[in-house]
Amino acid sequence: MSGETFASVWDALEDDPAKARKLEMQSLLMIALSDLVKSWETTQKDAAARLGVSQPRLNNLLQGKFNKFTLDALLKMAVRGGLDVALKIKGPKKPKA
């Protein structure tokens, strides 16, 4: 082991910082959507209808099939589900002295 540390698991998996942020956003949306659907205490069929997707598509989300979803598709489902999604942008990192 190299002992290298990372700010997030996505930084460890992806060398490109932009791709790492995108993966992080996707995972956060998937978690939020899964939690939302579970809070509805309804059938997958009804939950899927509320999100504007098919039941098999919702099942993919609930099973964590990450590679089956784009950031755009997850964002659309989140908005349809009533989630208030916001993007937080920070200034550039200051170089270490």
pLDDT of residue 94: 79
pLDDT of residue 48: 98
Q: Report residues of the chain scoring pLDDT below 50.
A: none
Residue count (the chain): 97
pLDDT of residue 93: 79
In 3D space, the residue among 27, 26, 7 whose CA is nearest the CA of residue 17 turns out to be 7
CA distance 95 to 23: 25
CA distance 30 to 78: 9
pLDDT of residue 5: 77
What type of residue sits at position 5? T
Using alpha carbons, list the distances in angstroms from residue 13 to 10, 32, 75, 96.
5, 22, 23, 24
